Structure 1
Amino acid sequence: MLTKRVIRFSLILASVVGCILIIQWKGYTSVKDAATLNIEQTFSVRHTHDEFAVKQVIANLPEGMYSVRFPAKAMEIDCKSGEDKACRWVNGSNSKLKAKDETLTFSYKLKAPKKVSGLLLEDWGAIIEEAPNITTRIQLTEHNWRNGTWAAGAELAGMEKMEAIDYYVFETEDRVPPLYWQENALAPMEMNQHLTIYSEGKPPLNTSVFQKLVPDEKLFIIMSGHAKELAETGKLIIVPKNKKNVEEELARLLLERKLSFRKGNEWIPDLIASVMLDTPAHNNKVEKMRKTMLSVLTEDQIERWLESSLSAGSEMITSEMLDELLEDTAGIKTDFFQKNADMGKAFQPFYFLDRRKIYIEGRKAEDIKILFQNDRTYISFIPLIKKLGFRILDPSKPDEMMIEKNGDKYHFVFSKKLFAKNGQQFGFQKNPFFTDQNEIYLDAAALKGLFDLEVKENSDEINIQ
């Protein structure tokens, strides 16, 4: 008899525990689903003389426990579930509620200034922490500020000025986008599928350039005469239209948001923006780089290099990549950007690097570079003499060098047109040496007179013998 009671009790207990676990699991999975489901919310915002009255309706929210964050300055907060039932708050601060699979409706008010020339409205909507992915529609009714324009960090789906009100509809995939109003009328202009610019009349920008700057996400720019400094808030960027160099500053900002750069490579968006806009770069060294590019590259080569740079996507843009893109798009091999990547070092001039294979007395030379400058061909000197079998006698003096092979000794002073061979002095018409980042280069035209070497070349290789 006792055994039967124990068995019956155990079955009842197991059933109760099972139900509890099922309920808990359902609640857990429902809240987890909220992060992936297509939840929809609609804001109805009504602006009267001194307040914003907000009604926020959230649909498709799965059953579960949710944390709700209302605007810090919200007043007269009310919450309804389904058919006008009071929400079930589970704490005294009304920040955590238990929701069933029903529509949630929040109502609250925010104070509004009575008279302003411009207003940025942030932290104005309630946020459900467990629902980051949400489709938002904002229906804004303006009763008071009839002479101005509303904009948002969201797409303008509709606008109509009526007899008694102005009516706006904005749509976005974000939870609570910022809203912006100013008394001077704003008109939106779509630059591309991800960039819309609001301005007071025609935007003071090179629109053909900004049409090419396609951000990874939708951004909304406001060119405002009221703004004093550039400000970013979410997908809304407010730009002082009368500020000097505002076009360059905005282009750099969009490039920084579109492309990926390593720390220390902040000069890259400055360079790309200045080349695109054909305006001086912000940094003096970057400006020298820009001018050099304009002097050695054709307009078509620059255009193709820019197009490839802007198409990098999520790939990290480095100085090495910029050099590689120049080779890919213009057929020019150089290490120009790599040599100038450190903004703390002096500017280095542009050289074309020869892409052909190099052979020294029949042996392939991987460590020798040949470059071109001002119609002269230069070869890296120290790797060359080592390949030729010379021995450096005194490497301690960076400005001169003594080498020896088979009893012949040479003494070079790199800053002079003179050299000595076995104690006898000789001279060149022009100094055949130049130094680039502590590497010595020799004019290839001097190889015959110095070492009795011939240079033979074709489209694939260079032979020095």
Structure 2
Amino acid sequence: MKFAFGLFAVLTGIIGGTLFFQYQTYSADLAAGNHAYYYAQEIETSFSNDELHVKHHFKGLPNQRMDIILPTHAKDVACLVEDTASCTRVDETMTYLTMGEATTQSISYTVPIAGGLAENKLLQNMFVQLKNGEVSYSILHMATDKVMAGNWITGLPFVGEQKLSMITNTMFSGDGDVRDLYWSVQPITLQQKEQHYSIYANEKPSADFLSEVVEVMGDTHIAIVKDPKFVTANTQEFLFLEALDVTTIENQILLTRLKQKYDFSKGEPWLVDVVATLALEREVGGKKAQDVLQTLYEEMTPEQVNEFKKRVLATEGKAITTQYLDSILREIFTMPTTYFEQNAATETGVFPLLFGDDREIYVNDYVKNDVNLVMKDGKVYYTADTLLPHLGYTAGEGNKGYYVNSAKSAYRFPRLPGFYVHNQTRHEVKSEPIIKIGDSYFIEEGWLQRIFHVEIDKNTGRIQMKVNLE
């Protein structure tokens, strides 16, 4: 037991010296003019009563105000008084650190864990962040009741484990931040530990796998964990795998790097696969992204495809959204389109590349922003679900087609081509008045005028519709 305590003391001393050197170096490298800064941290945690209790020490702090960003469900936030200066810069509101000469400050807080640790869990954004700050080095201590058979894993390199009579202490440390924690109910073995990655699995990786994985790893340490439950998790500190497969790791690392380079927070999840496919020039990710890109490429020249790729990949730091990608297509084709936006709203199949009209659409002198116009096969179509109610009708899909009703008229446009029904009278047609594109219905402009007696006047600024109900 004395040896165990001695070993941990030596490890803590060595890492503490490294920590001191790291934060002294980084604190001297403050970014000019934007109040960015580096700091180091040491975090002590213990788990009891379905809660994570945290003692958080910030080190190497600059002499400036720093806002405290708490975990979403944090409670019992308080000063942690360990010496006369350990809490002198923490404002009484616990929302920021004031300017001051003290370079180390400490707080404590508790984060509830819903459902406890009865099953494997990925706990994200568990620790306090300092706004505009970048963590240069982290030390993390995890204390867990010995009766719990599982173990903690973090994105930091594993240092050691100390089993005492009542608790198990686990220690991690390394460059960079730590935000996420992974709990495995069943003990999981650290199979390989290298400078930029650690592999956790209950099976030994093959020699071929170990030789190849080195080639695809980045510069920051990451934990590779075999657990299929979290393979789709959005985290920069872990790679969760169903199997120890190099291609999967390569793809996931690429996606992680792309999420660091581009802002996908406001876009559809499959847009990450779109950008990854453009970057690697091979298929990456799910079927949705590949089908959308393939349909788009079929309507573009090779020069337009290259221009699209170039413009998308040059948008580093910008938010990647369906609207933004559509704006790039608009510039390339010099015509408005909502191709990506429409495909985001389409649950089955792929919405084709169609072009629209920038003019506002008015119905009886009132602008209707929910009505869209598209051009297909030389004809003009309007969104039926949104336009027809403005004309005084109810409209929607039914058992035998698309139904449009008013007080005096009932229309049915069947799925079979060649006719429609008005007040139980069949009318033969050579072209379809209403068509379905993707998951949406559209009414053709000529038929809109003939069937529903809509007068349409187009000028430079607007498309004006007027109607008199029968």
TM-score, length basis structure 1 = 0.45
TM-score relative to the length of structure 2 = 0.44
